[in-house]
């Protein structure tokens, strides 16, 4: 059983740029893959990193902000055109089952006899509850704190290695708890500390916040993602800001390359 590897298909916040697309990543172990959030053209980007879109068993939609969910109908439609017959599970919060069903219905992708089965799979909201097991991958979740938008963080592990994806959140003790003992924390860093406002800090984290959460969790490595478009030309400054609070390895996520937990 091998450790999970993962690739960022997108690393930007709500606004994409020429360098960075909306946040999405694929996690793979022993030939089985799951998609964490679904912004951008996920199928095209999966192919660019060498992952067969038909290898996906689950798409995890952490919350219903546009930049994390708008690519789902495209993934479903293209998977059908590629000949998918196996069921695809869409993992989400319980209150997001019906909105996601409605989204797929708009594009005539729900409950079609000529399309593979789509299973909407609500998570258990108990912190640390197991959400899914597929192949060698085991995934647990915990609610985080994204202001008024219900959301959750994800822990994926295989082969004795674990990574945690914060999704969008302000600094949150529940995320640090989920990340205890993990090898990698993938944490949002939407803004720099110098640009903190009450509005931003109600729903998102700065790079400094991400560093503090990584230190609290005791992880080995911190990867910053969901970087606001204003910072795409100066991501090194965000890494430096996080380093003032976390002494481990710090990187800013790069798109379309594989990492290993």
Asked if 235 and 227 count as a contact pair (C-beta separation under 8 A), the reply is yes
Beta pairing partners, 158: 161
The interaxial angle of helices 97-106 and 72-81, nearest 10 deg, is: 60
CA distance 68 to 137: 22
* Angle (nearest 5°) at CA 15 between 11 and 16: 55
For residue 143, the tally of other CB atoms under 10 A from its CB is 19
Count other Cβ atoms within 10 Å, centred on residue 48.
13
Annotated catalytic residue 30? no
Tokens of 115: 């399309």
Q: Which of 30, 37, 52, 67 is catalytic?
A: 67
Which are the catalytic amino acids?
A: 67
């Amino acid at each position: 059983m091998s450790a999970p590897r993962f690739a960022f298909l997108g690393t930007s916040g709500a606004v994409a740029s020429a360098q960075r697309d909306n946040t999405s990543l694929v996690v793979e172990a022993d030939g089985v893959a799951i998609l964490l959030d679904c912004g951008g053209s996920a199928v095209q980007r999966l192919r660019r990193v060498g992952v067969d879109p038909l290898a996906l068993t689950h798409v995890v939609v952490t919350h219903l902000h546009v930049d994390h969910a708008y690519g789902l109908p495209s993934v479903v439609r293209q998977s059908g055109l590629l000949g998918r017959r196996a069921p695809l599970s869409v993992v989400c919060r319980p209150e997001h089952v019906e909105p996601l069903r409605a989204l797929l219905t708009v594009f005539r992708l729900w409950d079609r006899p000529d399309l593979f089965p789509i299973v909407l799979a609500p998570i258990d909201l108990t912190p640390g509850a197991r959400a899914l097991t597929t192949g060698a991958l085991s995934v647990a979740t915990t609610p985080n704190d994204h202001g008024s938008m219900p959301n959750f963080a994800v822990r994926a592990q295989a082969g004795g290695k674990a990574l945690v994806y914060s999704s969008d959140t302000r600094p949150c003790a529940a995320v640090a708890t989920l990340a205890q003992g993990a090898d990698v924390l993938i944490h949002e860093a939407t803004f720099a500390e110098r640009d903190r406002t009450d509005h931003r800090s109600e729903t998102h984290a700065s790079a400094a916040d991400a560093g503090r959460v990584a230190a609290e969790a005791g992880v080995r490595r911190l990867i910053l993602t969901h970087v606001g478009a204003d910072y795409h030309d100066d991501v090194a400054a965000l890494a430096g800001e996080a380093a003032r609070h976390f002494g481990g390895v710090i990187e800013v996520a790069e798109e379309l390359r594989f990492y290993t937990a």
